[in-house]
Structure 1
Amino acid sequence: MISVAVVDAKTPGNVGTIARAMKNFGLTDLYLVDPPDLDRDGEAYGFAGQAREDVLPNAREVSFEFLVENFHTVGCTAITNEDDRHHVRYPFRTPRELAESLRGVSADTCVVFGRERIGLTNEELERLDEVCSIPASADYPVLNLGQAATITLYELRSLTVEETQHPTEIARAPERDIEALHEQFASLVDAAGLVEEKRPKTVRLWRRLLGRAHPTTREVSTLHGVLRRAENRIREP
């Protein structure tokens, strides 16, 4: 089980944004340490989207001690140390690495985010089990609290969401249909009157292009119809 905690947030809108990201990526348990006032008519609920119905109203106000005592904790920070001479912010994992490291782990984990301006203090990070940081430009590595939470929770989605909305495999059209499309294109090239010696190369380029595209059945059918109509238009007396 993965939970989220926000420590000493100053802006209710950021709490709402984090609640919304949790709803997006399949998390439900939100803990708040020293939170701002979360007025149901205020920006926290305004920013929360559908999370205003469950995640936000069910958020629990707890102490930092509660997080340390009850969870495997991961502190999120933008500022890290470069080597092992300083252990407070080193070593650290990226959100993607964190997701991989938690796969199959049975311990309840809480991902802890800090304040908008200064994040988590060194004293707080010292008491947390792991450190997570988002790789960003060295010129400006600090992200908005809501942005940082959204990116981190997105990377954790493989542990919290059954991804059924987006297929992982491309439904490539049957080869006989693709070959028929190649033949239709070759016929169009002939009808267009392309210079004879250039026709084989043009047909080959088309085959290579389509080969990389892995078209679906619907795409092949649509292209076939367009090419056929174009050829018929060309051949009209």
Structure 2
Amino acid sequence: MVAVAVVDATEPGNVGTIARSMKNFGLSDLLLVDPPELDPEGEAYGFAGQAREDVLPEARELSFDELVSGYHTVGTTAVTNEDATKHVRYPFLRPADLAEELAGIAADTAVVFGRERVGLTNDELARMDQVCSIPASAEYPVLNLGQAATVVLYELRDSTVEETQHPDERHERADQQSVEGLHEQFGAFLEDIGHPEEKRAKATRLWRRFVGRAHPTGREARTLRGIFRQAGQRIDRAENGDED
């Protein structure tokens, strides 16, 4: 299931436009983080078209922490101008690749859009599992919020308008709680091995993006957590002089 999340939008009309695009392309679950007031007589409902009947009034408000912990997140951003030496906005998907990347993943996923002026902050993007960037002209690469959402959601249409895969063919991705537990275990592992504290944030981002692309199964997540846990225990025993 794919949800759409909008973080800290200031213009109700943009929220309505996104709801309308969702309706166009077969999505219905709208998540709002710090939204503006959505007056049923105002711009949001005026711009929403038929989405004013279901998508918009059924939108759910939640915190950013709840969004990250409850969903596999794909943060959207403008052209990144980053490469493999930088890791806040890299590696990134193109919208045309997003549907294939998410196809068959049996997990709650949220495609996340940011503010009108600045989009998602680097700190917010660092907490995303994956990043999607819209290619545009270098002379003017910035799209407005409604345009960006329409482009990305259009590319998802083949996987959202009609479900065609048999359930047995789906990749049973680990639930988000298990994935977040894996991230926490990795953080503990970095601490156990004495990884330089000033490098841990970068290493954590790299790990999150790696796992985000891999879509581990529940068994894979449990196995990796067990390996990190055993490594940490062995390090503790060695430091205490108890190692065989």
Q: Equivalent residue for 2:8?
A: 8
Q: Secondary structure at the residue paired with 1:87?
A: coil
The runs of at least 4 aligned residues of structure 1 exceeding 4 Å deviation read none
1:34 partner amino acid:
D
Residues 66-120 of structure 1: CA distance to partner in whole angstroms, max 9, x if unpaired? 1111110000000414311110000100111111111111111100000000000
Contact 2:79 2:135 in 1 (8 A): no
Q: Equivalent residue for 1:34?
A: 34
RMSD over aligned CA atoms reads 1.0
1:151 partner amino acid:
V
> Quick one: distance in 1 between partners of 2:13 and 2:123?
26
Residues 200-224 of structure 1: CA distance to partner in whole angstroms, max 9, x if unpaired? xxxxxxxxxxxxxxxxxxxxxxxxx
> Quick one: distance in 2 between partners of 1:47 and 1:118?
22
Identical pairs, percent: 75
Contact 1:13 1:44 in 2 (8 A): yes
Q: Equivalent residue for 1:46?
A: 46
> Quick one: distance in 1 between partners of 2:123 and 2:92?
16
> Quick one: distance in 1 between partners of 2:82 and 2:126?
16
Q: How many residues align?
A: 163
> Quick one: distance in 2 between partners of 1:105 and 1:35?
28
Q: Secondary structure at the residue paired with 1:85?
A: coil
5+ unaligned residues in a row in structure 2: which ranges? 164-244
Residues 7-57 of structure 1: CA distance to partner in whole angstroms, max 9, x if unpaired? 000100000000000000000000000000100000000000000000000
TM-score normalized by structure 1? 0.68
Q: Equivalent residue for 1:133?
A: 133
TM-score normalized by structure 2? 0.66
| 2:70 maps to 1:70 | yes
Q: Equivalent residue for 1:178?
A: none
Q: Equivalent residue for 2:119?
A: 119
> Quick one: distance in 2 between partners of 1:79 and 1:115?
16
> Quick one: distance in 1 between partners of 2:135 and 2:54?
31
Q: Equivalent residue for 1:206?
A: none
